[in-house]
Amino acid sequence: MSELTITHELDTQGLFCPEPVMMLHNKVRDMAPGDVVKVVATDPSTQRDIPKFCNFLDHELLENEARDNRFYYLIRKAS
């Protein structure tokens, strides 16, 4: 993942749909516009759900990466 200032982290490992996206929604609600959250997940459905979440709410999906049976996302909260 690139060098960005990550202001929040969210570990959803071991949780399954819809919990990771629900937790992300709650985390983003508490963030300031422009803040970046790093999400780590193990549920493969997050590969579909998190990009849709970002698109629907206009948050910027900066990066997503799958490695070692984990999924990593960097998301910037919309202004």
b or e along 56-76 (b: 16 or more beta carbons within 10 Å of the residue's beta carbon)? eeebeebebeeeeeebbbbbb
Annotated catalytic residue within 17, 40, 61, 62: 17
Whether residue 17 lies in the annotated active site: yes
Pick the closest to residue 60 from 46, 69, 50, 49 (CA basis).
50
Q: Which residues are catalytic?
A: 17
